[in-house]
Amino acid sequence: MPKQIEQTETEHPEHVAENSIAAVKITKEKGAEPEQPKMTRLASKYPKLFKVNKELEDQNGAIQQKQKQLSAKKKELSEVTGWFKGRKKKELQKEIDELKSQIRDMKDYLPRIVQKIGYRSVQEFLKDFKVSQTEYSQYRTAIEKWKKETGKEPVAHGIRAKLAEKKQEIQNEQKNKQHTRSQNKDRGAR
């Protein structure tokens, strides 16, 4: 049996060549219009992760502000000297303790921000965020390149895109129905 297969391939080399030429033509045709790049799972999560990262950054900024206030109060406390400054020292110490408590609470809130979306720790979130940011950037670059090559606008994929498309179709149908109804009413009035 193997000899027959070898003989048919050697006896008809033009058929093999024609098949490979056809395959090259098909790949050239496919190469003429490349397929739209598809977004990876992590890249599709990027907008949501970006919002959470923004919330983390805002919280970190607020913590830094409180820490600056804390260091200013500590400096002020160290500058208060004298026999009759006991009340002032107590007030400053109370403010310092309050600021420390607020900072501790704000730091404790950081992991809760990422836990709301299913991450166990901020480090785990940041790791995924960096990867999704890279993948999203690569996707955007690939889409821009694809747009230049094809001159077409990208078609959105996914459930939200399909829902938006269906919603638009329904709105267009309703507009057409309203337009035909008003035309029919106008005809009846004449």
Please answer whether residues 139 and 40 qualify as being in contact, where contact means their C-beta atoms are separated by less than 8 angstroms.
Answer: yes
Q: pTM of the entire structure? A: 0.61
Cα–chain-centroid distance for residue 28?
34
Domain hosting 79: range is 38-152
190 CB-side CA count, 13 A? 5
Q: Does some domain include residue 18?
A: no
- Mean pLDDT, residues 58-67: 96
Cα–chain-centroid distance for residue 186?
50
Residue 43 has pLDDT above 80, yes or no: yes
Rounded distance between C-alpha atoms, residue 168 and residue 171, angstroms:
5
Both 64 and 81 in one domain: the answer is: yes
Both 119 and 170 in one domain: the answer is: no
Both 49 and 88 in one domain: the answer is: yes
Over the chain, what is the mean pLDDT?
Answer: 80
The residue that leads in pLDDT, 33 or 140, is 140
